[in-house]
Amino acid sequence: MKYDNDKRTVMTLDAGGTNLVFTAISGNKQVLEEITLPSNADNLDRCMAAIVEGFNRVKSGLKEKPVAVSFAFPGPADYPNGIIGDLPNLPAFRGGIALGPMLEEKFGLPVFINNDGDLYAYGEAIAGFLPYVNQLLEKGESPKRYKNLLGLTLGTGFGGGIVRDGTLFVGDNSIAGEVWLLRDKLNPVMNVEEHASIRGVKRGYAKEANIKFEETPEPKDIYEIAIGEKKGNKQAAISAFREMAEATGDAISNAITLIDGLVVIGGGLAGASSVFLPYLVDEMNGTFTSPNGSKFRRLAANVYNLENEADRERFVRGSTKEIAVYGSKKKVKYDSEMRIGVGISKIGTSKAIAIGAYAFALNSMDK
């Protein structure tokens, strides 16, 4: 939020295997219409030319001179040094491509690169889900406030990012938050992305409907079948999202145990949250079984679905009471309930990534 009134402008890019989407951010707001160019994923010369062209078009459309270039690019990569490694979805990048240094030379500006999961999480922490939740708590006169956040993207893949007390945590190898590599509860020989993704939902529907994967409708159609807006196998649609939610909820539980903060979900599958989020939260509120057969909570904190009004009210209310300060007549508020809120992006994935890129650049420059 500290950059809401900042006048500096940063040029940004969200790079994928199909398209490159360019824009510019100032004061945490998009100040230019998005410019989309094909990524030319299998041709390095054309891809690099498209990246330069896109930023040139952004620069020419700005009234103010930009102070930096900051953007999301797939990994593996040495992000601090701007070097891109061998990319699965951009096969032209092989052997180490010094993208950051090339752009610094072209534009005479500092260049910052991160992956989309990290920048998504940072954007949600700066101007999205985290301030939204803290505003709810402030309005509800709760003493509780959050500083930490796990941001997740559910779509073609399963991405993640971690923000700790206002700082993006990237790790020593720029691979912190790689949630896609957590184990799949439903098939432990696989990683969780095989369920926590578009292909996971489609595969689940195909299995339940007893059809070939190639014949499976897209997740948006499966969602509409699940809520009764489109004809199809409703039970298979619900089952596909429930299965995805169970595997994803298990993975999130493992991650959030080490982070202890809010959880926000974006990406293409987030639009189906009304179908899968209740199952996901139920999984997080599940139990373990001890050797003597007794049950105990999977997580120390209670987990609330912040897209559900009743859950949201209970989350804000917490267990707040006044307690006396020992040896004094003074009283203080005490909220004894440990709790985690899970919800869907309020600003959209692309906007969160752009704001994250903007804030990361300014924060790095200010340091």
Pairing type for strands 158-164 and 148-154 reads: antiparallel
Please report which confidence band the pLDDT of residue 45 belongs to, taking 50, 70 and 90 as the band edges: very high
The C-alpha atoms of residue 125 and residue 1 are separated, in whole angstroms, by: 9
For residue 6 the two structure tokens come to: 């900042």
Mean pLDDT for the chain overall: 95
Q: Determine the Cα–Cα distance for residues 316 and 119; give it in Å rounded to an integer.
A: 27
The pLDDT assigned to 89 comes to 84
pLDDT tens per residue across span 210-262: 999 999 999 999 999 999 999 999 999 999 999 999 999 999 999 999 999 99
The pLDDT value given to residue 1 = 58
Contact 35, 22 (CB under 8 A): yes
The yes-or-no answer to whether 9-117 and 129-346 have a common fold is yes
Flag the least confident range among 163-167, 191-195, 200-204, 247-251. Answer: 163-167
Residue 83 Cα distances to 13, 78, 99, 122, 288, angstroms? 16, 5, 6, 21, 43
Strand partners, 78: 83
Maximum CA pair distance of the chain?
A: 74
Q: What is the pLDDT of residue 243?
A: 98
Mention the CATH class of domain 9-117.
Answer: alpha beta
Which H or E element spans position 321? strand 320-324
What number does CATH give the domain 129-346?
3.30.420.40
Report the share of the chain in percent with pLDDT over 90. Answer: 92
Backbone φ, ψ for residue 232 (5° rounding) = 155, -170
Rounded to whole angstroms, the Cα distance separating 227 from 118 reads 32
Write down the domain spans for the chain.
9-117, 129-346
Where does the chain have alpha helices with state H? 44-60, 99-107, 116-127, 129-139, 198-209, 219-226, 234-259, 273-284, 309-317, 349-366
- Which burial class, exposed, middle or buried, applies to 248 when counting CB atoms under 10 A from its CB (0-12, 13-18, 19+)? buried
User: pTM score, two decimals?
Assistant: 0.93
What phi and psi, each to the nearest 5 degrees, are found at residue 151? -100, 135
CA-wise closest residue to 222 among 271, 154, 278, 265: 271
- Cis omega before residue 76 (within 30°)? yes
What are the distances in angstroms from CA 362 to CA 26, 79, 204, 227, 339? 10, 16, 43, 43, 32
Q: How confident is the model at residue 152 (pLDDT cuts 50, 70, 90)?
A: very high
- Model confidence at 169, pLDDT cuts 50, 70, 90, reads very high
Confidence of residue 350 (pLDDT cuts 50, 70, 90): confident
